Every structure is written in structure tokens, then in C-alpha cells.
């Protein structure tokens, strides 16, 4: 387990580490075994649940998300208003805003028609987010995204102006739990370390519930390099959620984003897998 300010070294060999671990800059048999394009294209036919129609233009990218922890804290909206561009209204649930931290790892990260490739298509990611809307379309606003792929970080910063950061990350999975460790390469105070596991049966959130509000989001919002707002649409099936428990050993991610979360434990949910497609961003009026 990561302790204090320790960051996992890029040169560590997953063969030497206990458990089934993925180290972002090391290629070995365990990492290669997962480099396969098993994307579920059936999701493109599963559309009845969507709050609005899918875009009528071709999608451009696939991703598969694995072993997600949703950790959410209820916060006063006044804390976030100055941290979110004025173009985006805060999306509230019963008058409250929410901050989410979501660790997971990805496979099948590839442009449309391109197979998964070692080093490029599989890596862990950790995001810090809140919820916003433009008109009748609720979405996600990211304060930061840490990823164990320099190529993905460069592409997202260049093409989307998203606040991505390269990080040293280790994900260890057993039958009982997920152990997650992340430390930002450019700021060693940006650390997330903990373990988590599902504790109940899979369920689909009911429309209007808090779980639905926190997870069923079909776009993200951000500002482009010229300071203009955009929306990026995504599509996925309804989230297969499970109640979860987590032990957060160290979590400075709110602090490094200028955010404050309450001392009480957050609300935890787990999801084993989600396949998604994404469209190119579109500017907003």
C-alpha cells in the first residue's frame, strides 16, 4: 500500500509485484494479456434508456472502463461556483452539489476502426469531477484527470483542452478487492491510495434517484483552447452499479484542485465494467 508521499516508480516490474498488477510504463506478460479489442458493439443498439437521442454523426472513439469506484461527497454549491466556468450551470440534487472521485482502468481506448495497441489502449485513470448542465442536458465537468499514459494525456490536452496529468499508477485486483495507487508525476502531493470492493448485488439506478443523478451522464462539458465552451457526447448502457465499501488511505485529490470535502465518509458505488463510445466535441452557442 502506498504510504506518505510515495509514488510508484515507472520502472517497477509487475512480475516482481504481488497480485495481478498493472504498472503503466512496464510491458510484461500480464499486461499484454489484456491488450485485446473485446469492445461490446451491442451497446450501440441499446438506446431506450438515453435522456436524449444519440448524435446523428459518426462516433469517433471506443473505451472500456473497468473496476470503477464512485466516491461522492455532498458539498455546498457556493464552493464550486467559482471553480466552474460560468457557461455551465451547476447541476444540483435537492439543492446540493456533489464532488466525485473516480478511480478505474481502461482498455479498448482506440479511434474508430483502429485495434487496441500495447502502451496506447490500456491504462489506469483517476478523475475528479462535479456535475453541470447546459439547458436540458446534464453532464460532467472535470477538475482534473490523472492517467498513466503520456500519449493519452498529450492527446486530451491538445485536442480537448482537458486538465489531464501524467501519473505513476498501480492497480492490483484480486477476487476480494481492488487496490489502487496513483501519484501525479508533476506534483507528488497529488496522491490517491486506497482499496475498495463491491458489497451487494448489481442494480440499475432508478430515474430520479441520487444514484441516477451521480452516474447516468451522457456528455462532458469543458472549455476549448480559445476559451469557448463545448459539449462532448458519449453513449453507454445503463450503469451496472453495486453498493461498495472503500478504505481511502490517502486522498489529496480534492486539495490539489482547490476543493474541500466534508469529513464524513463519502457515498461509494462500484461498477465492474462499462463500454462506451464518444463523439467529437461540438461548440456551444
Is residue 5 one of the residues assigned to a domain? no
pLDDT at 271 over 60: yes
The overall average pLDDT reported for the chain is 89
Least confident of 33-42, 188-197, 224-233, 264-273: 33-42
Query: For residue range 133-157, what is the model confidence (pLDDT) as tens digits?
Result: 999 999 999 999 999 999 999 999 9
Chain centroid, CA 284 distance in Å: 23
- Whether residue 20 is contained in a domain is answered as no
More confident residue, 128 or 37: 128
Is residue 94 predicted with pLDDT exceeding 90?
yes
Any domain includes 17: no
The angle formed by the CA atoms of residues 141, 100 and 197, to the nearest 5 degrees, is 140
How many domains, in total, are found in the chain? Answer: 1
Residue 12 pLDDT class (50, 70, 90 cuts)? very low
The proportion of the chain whose per-residue pLDDT surpasses 70, expressed as a percent, equals: 87
The pLDDT of residue 7:
64
Tens digit of each residue's pLDDT (9 = 90 or more) over 199-237: 999 999 999 999 999 999 999 999 999 999 999 999 999
Nearest partner of 25 among 9, 37, 36, judged by Cα: 9
Q: Do the domain assignments include residue 16?
A: no
pLDDT of residue 42: 96
Domain of residue 194, CATH code: 2.40.400.10
Its pTM stands at: 0.90
Q: Does 107 reside within a domain?
A: yes
Burial track 219-248 (b if 16+ CB lie within 10 A, e otherwise): bbbbbeeeeebbbbbbbbbbbebbebebeb
Domain that includes residue 243, residue range: 27-283
CA angle at 127 for the pair 126 and 128, rounded to the nearest 5°: 135
Please report which confidence band the pLDDT of residue 116 belongs to, taking 50, 70 and 90 as the band edges: confident
Is 2 within a domain?
Answer: no
Q: From CA 22, how far away is CA 41, in angstroms rounded? A: 26
Q: Is residue 14 part of a domain?
A: no
Residue 8 has pLDDT above 90, yes or no: no
Evaluate if residue 30 carries a pLDDT over 60.
Answer: no
Whole-number pLDDT of residue 24: 42
Grid look-up 456535475 returns 131
pLDDT at 249 over 70: yes
User: Closest Cα to residue 125, out of 80, 82, 83, 66?
Assistant: 66
The whole-number pLDDT of residue 113 equals 86
- Provide the b/e sequence for 162-189 (b: ≥16 CB within 10 Å): bbbbbbbbbbbbeeebbbbbbbbbeeee
The answer on pLDDT for 160 being more than 80 is yes
In a domain, 12, yes or no: no
Share of the chain above pLDDT 90, in %: 82
Phi-psi region of 63 (alpha: psi -120 to 50; beta: other; left: phi over 0): beta
Q: What's the whole-number mean pLDDT along residues 121-131?
A: 97
pLDDT of residue 37: 72
Give the angle subtended at the CA of 215 by the CAs of 212 and 221, to the nearest 5°: 120
Burial (CB < 10 A; 0-12, 13-18, 19+), residue 83, is middle
Amino acid at each position: 500500500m502506498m504510504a506518505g508521499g510515495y509514488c510508484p516508480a515507472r520502472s517497477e516490474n509487475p512480475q516482481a509485484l504481488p497480485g495481478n498488477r498493472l504498472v503503466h510504463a512496464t510491458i510484461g506478460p500480464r499486461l499484454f494479456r489484456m491488450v485485446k479489442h473485446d469492445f461490446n458493439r451491442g451497446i450501440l443498439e441499446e438506446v431506450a434508456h438515453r435522456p436524449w437521442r444519440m448524435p446523428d454523426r459518426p462516433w469517433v472513439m471506443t473505451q472500456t472502463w473497468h473496476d470503477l469506484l464512485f466516491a461522492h461527497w455532498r458539498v455546498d454549491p457556493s464552493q464550486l461556483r467559482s471553480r466552474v466556468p460560468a457557461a455551465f450551470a451547476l447541476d444540483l440534487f435537492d439543492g446540493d452539489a456533489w464532488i466525485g472521485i473516480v478511480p478505474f482502468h481502461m482498455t479498448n481506448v482506440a479511434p474508430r476502426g483502429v485495434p487496441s495497441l500495447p502502451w496506447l489502449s490500456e491504462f489506469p485513470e483517476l478523475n475528479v469531477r462535479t456535475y453541470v448542465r447546459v439547458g436540458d442536458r446534464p453532464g460532467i465537468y472535470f477538475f482534473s484527470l490523472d492517467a498513466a499514459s503520456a500519449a493519452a494525456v498529450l492527446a486530451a490536452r491538445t485536442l480537448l483542452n482537458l486538465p489531464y496529468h501524467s501519473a505513476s499508477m498501480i492497480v492490483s485486483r484480486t477476487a476480494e478487492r481492488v487496490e489502487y495507487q496513483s501519484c501525479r508525476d508533476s506534483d507528488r502531493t497529488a496522491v490517491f491510495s486506497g482499496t475498495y470492493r463491491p458489497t451487494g448485488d448489481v442494480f440499475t439506478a432508478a430515474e430520479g434517484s441520487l444514484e441516477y443523478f451521480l452516474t447516468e451522464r451522457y456528455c462532458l462539458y469543458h472549455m476549448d483552447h480559445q476559451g469557448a465552451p463545448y459539449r462532448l457526447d458519449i453513449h453507454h448502457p445503463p450503469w451496472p452499479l453495486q453498493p461498495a465499501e472503500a478504505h481511502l488511505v490517502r486522498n489529496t485529490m480534492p486539495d490539489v484542485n482547490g476543493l474541500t470535502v466534508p469529513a464524513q465518509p463519502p457515498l461509494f458505488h462500484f461498477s465492474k465494467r462499462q463500454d462506451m463510445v464518444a463523439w467529437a466535441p461540438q461548440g456551444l452557442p
